[in-house]
Structure 1
Amino acid sequence: MRLDGKVCIITGAGSGIGRAAAELFAKEGAIVIACDVNETSYENPNIHFYKLDVTDRNRIAEVVKDVVEKFGKIDVLVNNAGITRDALIQNMTEEDWDKVINVNLKGVFNMTQAVVPYMLEAGKGSIINTSSVVGVYGNIGQTNYAATKAGVIGMTKTWAKEFARKGAQIRVNAVAPGFIKTPMTEKVPEKILTMMAEKAALKRLGEPIEVAYVYLFLASDESSYITGQVIGVDGGLIL
């Protein structure tokens, strides 16, 4: 199994891509710490649920401490949690700006800052940050979301340099999904989703498991010489 014995924390693991990743990682032998703001359950006994808001630094510290005490290490962190609050900039409230920034950008910072000391001590690890095609190319009505996802790319490249500078084999990569069938895209008007599917080279929306398999590759030792990269999973939406 590709993740046999690895301890993996996944945020936003209650639904969509995060849930698909949690189930896939467990199937591949990982001990999965599935974190989400909403209570949920899993059939695989190797998935351990923790209720967690990535904006709550005290709760993050508690969870990370508990994971290390129970399992002795953290091999993989998947910063997958994210939200949208879409509006044209003239209609976007400060509250909606702050909420998206706090979850999508600061939340990634919060989780990584809490976890990376254990990876540095071990001298190895893999951090996977969820960006978006919107963070690379922008999108109308998503100023806040695009800003966070572009920021995630900037942090990814910075951390890839920073965490490995003294020889630690800590890899940091970003995944940039396109339009994937998740609860988040259910909020998007059907005509927009149809248009995006037609724009993609593969003429369809993506499935959560198709992104989860990329997470799996980056979490596994198969990607041991890959760091600081942004991997698009968008069906050829942007070519």
Structure 2
Amino acid sequence: MARRRMIYEGKAKILYEGPEPDTLIQYFKDDATAFNAEKHAVIEGKGVLNNRMSEFFMTGLSQIGVPNHFIRRLNMREQLVRMVEIIPLEVVVRNVAAGSMAKRLGMNEGTELPRPIIEFYLKDDALGDPMVTEEHIIAFNWASQQDIDDMIALALRVNDYMSGLMYGVGIKLVDFKIEVGRVFEGDFQRLIVADEISPDSCRLWDIQSGRKLDKDVFRHELGDLSEAYTEVARRLGVLPRNGATTKGPKLVQ
């Protein structure tokens, strides 16, 4: 087999050159990171779970007309995706006060917000992914006003879909982040959802107990991350309820 050309390696995924023009192979690693990669572990099976769940969410979004980069899953850890020009911003949608928002505004974690709140963060690990305003985005030419409007519209549609889906399986969608990329069709440009949607990029709480089912389990040492992710996958029907769970974490010093 010919050696594949790696395009990019991030904290949780590797991108390889795809087999078709304007495609990439997205490989999901087992690495878990927190606090800007200051905390790191390898959680056996995490990449498999995130690959399957991201496929599930992206396929559902396509079915309701939300454009995204997913083409098809190739195997347990890889999927074929469309090549996009990533806008260097994380788009965060918050339904409930938690994490940095709760700390920044002195709010009690779990406070329901009066409406979904959208925040933008610059993708820059060296700076700790700082929050930026629309004025910053336009002034520094990271995106245009039309791009911002389109990103907000995409994020709210994803929120509507994900909130309803999670509520149906007893999970509260507290917040999540997406990345957005540009694709060009002739002279026409449009924005689509890219990267991944998984418990790595969402805060998910059990509605009845408040138990956390997302990466906060790893951040704050609240239990077994693989068990939390497996529970989400089972509730969504991505994994059979009587299937084997993944093994526990293997810490990397």
TM-score range, shorter chain: under 0.3
- Which structure has greater strand proportion? 2
- Which structure has greater helix proportion? 1
TM-score by structure 1 length? 0.27
Instruction: Kindly name which structure, 1 or 2, has the bigger radius of gyration based on alpha carbons.
Output: 2
